[in-house]
Structure 1
């Protein structure tokens, strides 16, 4: 195992770019033709350098400020629990009416990449020592995020992923099927849809989260470097309610065997129906609104079928499993999983966001300035 001090020395250096470990994506221009990708990456680098010039802080000063907390997070991981997907599980606790009890506050947070890195091909699981080392690298990289490169410097508010109850994970990728830990290939239709969406840049095509219409917390839930997914689950005898802090969204999931919504009903978050399979809550979501473009699953058609499985592992851990099926987009269904640590009260806070804030207006101003320079693509 690489000494923790060596990892700290490798990562806590000035001007480390924002990490992408939690998304598994290394480029904002992924999937585009080479010329377009190069232009986007060039502009991203220009914006990064400009932000650093005016920033009041560097990641070097930030690391110095939080060094003790960083060391504590790594020490807890070194001597604490590591998630082993093959370990035996205890029966889930029960509600007063007998259903598995999933209630509480949970965090959708992980340093495990969505797709398995090429250098780990054929290795679905780490050893415990390797998992702790990977976690430590994630902690130092996360804490080293250059404050000039992000909308908020989360660690200033105690909201960095490494400041949460997250634990190391033996998995080398969140994707468990296909077995190689990679998303399946796009169909020709899915590839064309992906590239068409990636090229579009209009007022109407901006992210719905950017416009504060809907959040970025699914379904399905995917960890984000910006919002690591604070959630609350509330149960009744006939419904399960899933609430997220981001955009204060609420999913009310009936458990009464009612049929799926008719095809012309297309809510922002799709239409969900749930049922119990032993200790596991199974939620099937269909009827997605075609205006919802998933940040990390571009190209998906509104007819995708998302199946989520929620299982209480113990008092402090919830297993979240997802399968996505969309023959219009991918050649095969694919599945991923992550574990959610429990979060102590007070739980969720207000997410004060409203459409047409300054961000969207300034994006359009910047686009017009680019067009005036005759460099708009």
Structure 2
């Protein structure tokens, strides 16, 4: 009886020690993946992605393309430079960061999903997922949101996006080329404030990498209603409603 009781206490102690060890080993992982899930909205609505310091560092070709976009906008020829305004096409990355409507973030099975209220657009970031084989050459086909791969650096989610179509824009006017690379660093400033620090690189359009910061505020959880951008175009309403 004494031996059985002693054995039982030993088993309990071993189990408790194992549980404590598992919790200790899991703590860094938990600390490295803060809860950025929830509904968010840009804190200061804007259509312009402003550099942290100075002006957008255009190359000669980049400045020429930017001036052409300004001239086209003045003439109302949106389809010649901004297919988001003319066709409700996905704004792409990083312009999606400026959407004035809400968006929802959730993190499941190594994928961070951004579900935008605007036109119910979607964007996904693969986190810690090894590169997948490109059997059909699809990696050579640029898309609006490109391909985003991410990883955690402490309390910060780092995403690197490449492979975006040059038909998208950085913001409402700034162009880019095929070699655009967007590195984003998402972190919680506090429980209700999310910061997205954006690094833009494109040697054909910009003379050096440049950085911008966009901040979001947490919103009450909600189910987004259907949002059809094309209906607004038909009704001659703004593509990006407030």
Q: Specify if TM > 0.5.
A: yes
- Kindly indicate whether the alpha-carbon contact (under 8 Å) linking 1:267 and 1:287 is maintained by their aligned counterparts in 2: yes
| 1:101 aligns with one of 35, 38, 51 | 35
What is the CA–CA distance in structure 2 between the aligned matches of 1:175 and 1:294, rounded to whole Å? 12
What's the Cα RMSD here? 3.3
Q: Which residue of 2 aligns with 1:185?
A: 57
Is 1:239 aligned with 2:111?
yes
What is the CA–CA distance in structure 1 between the aligned matches of 2:212 and 2:171, rounded to whole Å? 16
5+ unaligned residues in a row in structure 2: which ranges? Answer: 1-26, 238-242
Is 1:205 aligned with 2:80?
yes
Q: Which residue of 2 aligns with 1:46?
A: none
What is the CA–CA distance in structure 2 between the aligned matches of 1:291 and 1:230, rounded to whole Å? 24
What is the CA–CA distance in structure 2 between the aligned matches of 1:341 and 1:271, rounded to whole Å? 26
Q: Which SS does the other structure have where 2:229 is aligned?
A: coil
- The verdict on how the C-alpha distance between 1:270 and 1:199 changes in structure 2, with shifts beyond 3 A counting, is same
Which is bigger in relative contact order (C-alpha 8 A, separation at least 6)?
Answer: 2
Q: Which residue of 2 aligns with 1:325?
A: 201
- The verdict on how the C-alpha distance between 1:279 and 1:194 changes in structure 2, with shifts beyond 3 A counting, is same
- Kindly indicate whether the alpha-carbon contact (under 8 Å) linking 2:95 and 2:170 is maintained by their aligned counterparts in 1: no
What is the CA–CA distance in structure 2 between the aligned matches of 1:182 and 1:267, rounded to whole Å? 30
Is 1:359 aligned with 2:231?
no
Is 1:214 aligned with 2:89?
yes
5+ unaligned residues in a row in structure 1: which ranges? Answer: 1-92, 116-173, 361-377
Q: Give deviations 1:162-210, integer Å, cap 9, x for gaps.
A: xxxxxxxxxxxx633xxxx222431111122223333346574263333
What is the CA–CA distance in structure 2 between the aligned matches of 1:113 and 1:294, rounded to whole Å? 10
Provide TM-score, normalisation by structure 1: 0.47
What is the CA–CA distance in structure 2 between the aligned matches of 1:96 and 1:323, rounded to whole Å? 26
Q: Which SS does the other structure have where 1:291 is aligned?
A: coil
What is the CA–CA distance in structure 1 between the aligned matches of 2:51 and 2:160, rounded to whole Å? 19
- Kindly indicate whether the alpha-carbon contact (under 8 Å) linking 1:95 and 1:101 is maintained by their aligned counterparts in 2: no
Q: Which residue of 2 aligns with 1:346?
A: 222
